[in-house]
Amino acid sequence: MAMKDDDILQASRYVDGEMDEAGQKQFEALMHADAELRAYVAQYRAADAALRKRFTPDANLNNLQQTLKSLSAEHFKPEAKVVSFKPYVKWLSGIAAVLAIGLMIYIPTRKSLYDQYSTATTMSVAERGAGIQTRLEKAAEYYNHKEFNEAEKLLAKEYAADSKNSQAAYYYAITLIQDKQEAKARVILQQLYNGESVFKYDAAWYMALSYVKVKDEVNAKVWLEKIPVGTSNYAKAMELKGKL
């Protein structure tokens, strides 16, 4: 069922805080009984929040706001006929719909700092020639297709079979971070950092990123500072540190 213009208008007034206490309670009761209305309010909130982040006030926007206020004052007078506001209701609801759909489809999702600075985007494994694909090779295939859950399962087995395999340990830790198991990943990364494998400072980098992912800036900076000059991630580490 299509939403009524009045419901759309009331939803926008509710989100924008233009209702009195009694109106809010009445509208919330309506939302409680109407899943479609709840969904629309959620979409309107998301569109409003996204627009506030992407656009700053300017003279034209202020002028538009003043115009809308004057229209509201004129057409919401108690003596005014309800029908007189219908064109504006349709216009405003149309704008809201366009904004919501446009934001969902055309505005790209901003990457998190973790995703922006994740450097281990591919996993390379020396192939053993023709024959049956090894577990590590299959894990790399999943990893490179960003099927991290599947890669994690195979890397977990590889790590359990040989915890000294630094490559398996390193990429297993990354899949754990992707799977929101940061604490478990840090145990493995700490071991790599304490050792002397080629993944020592890569482990420090991903240890820092594991904290960035959960917005723990203090510990993220501690690990970024462990990455020495001359290593592959040093420049990125200093850049990321400046953003925290």
Six token digits for residue 139: 């894990």
The CATH superfamily of 113-243 is Tetratricopeptide repeat domain (1.25.40.10)
CA distances in angstroms from 182 to 53, 175, 190, 207, 241, listed in the order given: 29, 10, 12, 9, 20
pTM, two decimals, is 0.57
Phi, psi of 107 (to 5 degrees): -90, 115
Rounded to whole angstroms, the Cα distance separating 212 from 205 reads 11
Q: pLDDT tens for the chain, 244 residues: list them.
A: 455 666 677 777 888 888 888 888 888 888 888 878 888 888 878 777 766 665 555 555 556 556 555 655 555 454 444 444 444 444 455 555 555 555 554 444 567 899 999 998 999 887 665 567 899 999 999 999 999 999 999 999 999 999 999 999 999 999 999 999 999 999 999 999 999 999 999 999 999 999 999 999 999 999 999 999 999 999 999 999 999 8
Nearest to 101 by CA among 180, 169, 158, 47: 47
Query: What are the sequence ranges of the domains in the chain?
Result: 5-106, 113-243
Measured CA to CA in angstroms, residue 98 lies from 43, 52, 53, 156, 195 at distances of 11, 16, 18, 46, 55
pLDDT of residue 158: 95
The pLDDT value recorded for residue 52 is: 63
Structure confidence at residue 106 (pLDDT):
44
Cβ-count burial of 138 within 10 angstroms (0-12 exposed, 13-18 middle, 19+ buried)?
middle
- ∠ CA(26), CA(100), CA(43), 5° rounding? 40
Q: In Å, what is the CA distance from 18 to each residue of 14, 36, 168?
A: 6, 21, 57
* Cα–Cα dist 1/69, whole Å: 31
At what angle are helices 5-15 and 86-106 packed, to 10 degrees?
A: 70
pLDDT at site 23: 83
Residues, the chain, total? 244
Q: How far apart are CA 173 and CA 209, in angstroms?
A: 12
